Amino acid sequence: MKTYTNYLWMNTKKQKEIVNITHQVEEIVSKSKIKEGLVLVSAMHITASVFVNDEEPGIKQDFLEWAERLAPFNPNYKHHQTGEDNGDAHLKSILFHHEVIIPITGGELDFGPWQQIFYGEFDGRRRKRIVVKVLGDAS
C-alpha cells in the first residue's frame, strides 16, 4: 500500500463561509498516482469542518443559517471565560464534523450523484490547514 500526504491552506474572506474544495482534492489524488484506495480530508482546526454535500448556493446558505440557529453567538458561553470569543464556532464545527473519507476508483474520486467536498469555516479570516491523505494501490 502506498500513501501520499498533501495540505491545503485556507484563508476565507468571511468569518463564516463554505468553500468547495473538490477540485483541489482531485488534483492531490491525481498527483498521488493511487488508482484504488481512499482519501481522507480533514480540517486541522477546531473551528472548521469538512463535509460532503451538493454544490448549490441555496443549500450552502441554508447550512450557515441552520448552524447559526443551532449555535448562535452568545457572550455567555463558558469557553469565553478563557479569553476567547469563538465558542459558537466550536459548536458549529461539530454540526458538520471535521473530516470525510472518499473512495478512489480508477484514480478518481468515486462520488455519488451531486456529491462534492466542502470546507466549512466558522471563525475565519486567518490561515488554516486541511490535511489530505491518500492511501491505496498505484497499480
Residue 18 to residue 12: CA distance in whole angstroms: 9
Length of the chain: 139
- Which range marks the domain in which residue 60 is found? 2-137
In the chain, the number of structural domains is 1
- Report pLDDT digits (tens) over 79-95: 999 999 999 999 999 99
Locate 35 and state its grid cell: 488508482
- Report pLDDT digits (tens) over 40-83: 999 999 999 999 999 999 999 999 999 999 999 999 999 999 99
pLDDT of residue 29: 98
Nearest to 39 by CA among 20, 24, 55: 24
pLDDT of residue 138: 94
Evaluate the CA torsion angle 126, 68, 51, 41 in order and state its sign. positive
Q: Is the pLDDT of residue 139 over 90?
A: no
What CATH number is given to the structural domain containing 111?
Answer: 2.60.120.460
- DSSP 8-state code for residue 83: T
Q: Is the pLDDT of residue 103 over 90?
A: yes
